[in-house]
């Protein structure tokens, strides 16, 4: 299918960009992309795998920092209440 055919068929611009992404570059037939997209197998390269891991590590670090800040605030509040 050509891009204008996708738009004529009612697909949004974003969906057509997604179709033209990895599965299409790997040569998957358009019918398979549209009918059974979950059956198309492609692998992440090392950069993508590292990028995903880095994002997960960053989220874990930010969550840990928030927990530490909350614990410090709770300790400070408890210390103030003990002083009174």
Look at residue 24 in the predicted model and tell me its pLDDT: 59
- In terms of phi and psi (left: phi > 0; alpha: psi -120 to 50; beta: otherwise), the region of 10 is left
pLDDT tens track, the chain, 84 positions: 566 665 555 555 555 555 556 655 666 666 666 667 666 666 556 666 667 777 788 888 899 999 999 999 999 999 988 887
What is the per-residue pLDDT for 66? 94
Which pTM value belongs to this model? 0.41
Q: What is the pLDDT of residue 69?
A: 95
pLDDT score for 55: 79
Check: CB of residue 67 under 8 Å from CB of residue 74: no
């Amino acid at each position: 299918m050509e891009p204008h055919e996708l738009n004529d068929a009612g697909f949004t611009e974003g969906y057509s960009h997604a179709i033209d992404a990895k599965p299409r570059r790997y040569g998957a037939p358009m019918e398979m992309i549209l009918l059974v997209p979950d059956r198309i197998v492609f692998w992440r390269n090392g950069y993508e795998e590292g990028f995903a891991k880095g994002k997960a590590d960053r989220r874990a670090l930010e969550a840990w920092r928030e927990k530490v800040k909350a614990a410090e605030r709770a300790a400070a509040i408890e210390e103030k209440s003990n002083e009174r």
